[in-house]
Chain A
Amino acid sequence: DAGVIQSPRHEVTEMGQEVTLRCKPISGHNSLFWYRQTMMRGLELLIYFNNNVPIDDSGMPEDRFSAKMPNASFSTLKIQPSEPRDSAVYFCASSLGSSGTEAFFGQGTRLTVV
């Protein structure tokens, strides 16, 4: 398996623009997680899905952030409108969904909002 695949790897956008980050989890994994990493706040859990259903989105910072998982092999994280403080590395991870299993992280998307 190729692992968790995220695209794009880098994104530079202007403030106010819409940004969509994409994630393909490992086949067979039924849990998917979106994290944001910054120097100041570390690795923050934004939202996670189980069997394509959003379970906990309490980490989503604002209404400008939304996430979807239309099927078991694809998820998106959208920011609209984007702001400079959204600049961070966004990671997607997937797992078999129980507390006793490891999460596999994608390589991340480095987002810069100017």
Chain B
Amino acid sequence: QQPVQSPQAVILREGEDAVINCSSSKALYSVHWYRQKHGEAPIFLMILLKGGEQKGHDKISASFNEKKQQSSLYLTASQLSYSGTYFCGTMKGGGADGLTFGKGTHLIIQP
């Protein structure tokens, strides 16, 4: 089952904040976040493994609400380099499962 991302697209000015949401109709064991720039491969951002876990680096962080089967990605004081398409990916369970990705959120940062 493909996770659902919202919004589909966001346009921000440099320095503004953004939140990208990811929800699933199935129980989540982990949530993975990736960013893809146009014409490039997806690049890993972070994994959240436990319910309620929050992770982050630099000004990008994420939370995982296991009960609500949701995750959110927070981009604070966005920079031009944050532009791209953000994907959340979920696995069915532990082990070597492949990721099922949402359709992505297009983020455009304007100067």
- State the A residues within 8 Å of B (CB): 30-31, 33, 42-45, 47-48, 50, 55-56, 59, 91, 95, 97-108
Complex CA–CA separation, A50 to B100 (angstroms): 16
- Chain A residues touching B, majority SS: strand
Complex CA–CA separation, A104 to B43 (angstroms): 7
B95 contacts across to A, CB distance below 8 A = 50, 97-99
Q: Among the listed A47, A50, A99, A107, which residue makes an inter-chain contact with B91, where contact means beta carbons less than 8 Å apart? A: A99
Report how many residues on chain B are interfacial, defined by Cβ distance under 8 Å: 25
A108 contacts across to B, CB distance below 8 A = 41
Task: Give 6 A-B contacts (CB < 8 Å), ordered by A residue.
Answer: A31-B96, A42-B103, A43-B104, A50-B95, A97-B96, A101-B47
A99-B97 in contact (CB<8A)? yes
Q: Known contacts A42-B103, A100-B49; is A48 also within 8 Å of B41 by CB?
A: no
Complex CA–CA separation, A43 to B89 (angstroms): 10
Q: Is B87 part of the binding interface, using a Cβ–Cβ cutoff of 8 Å?
A: yes
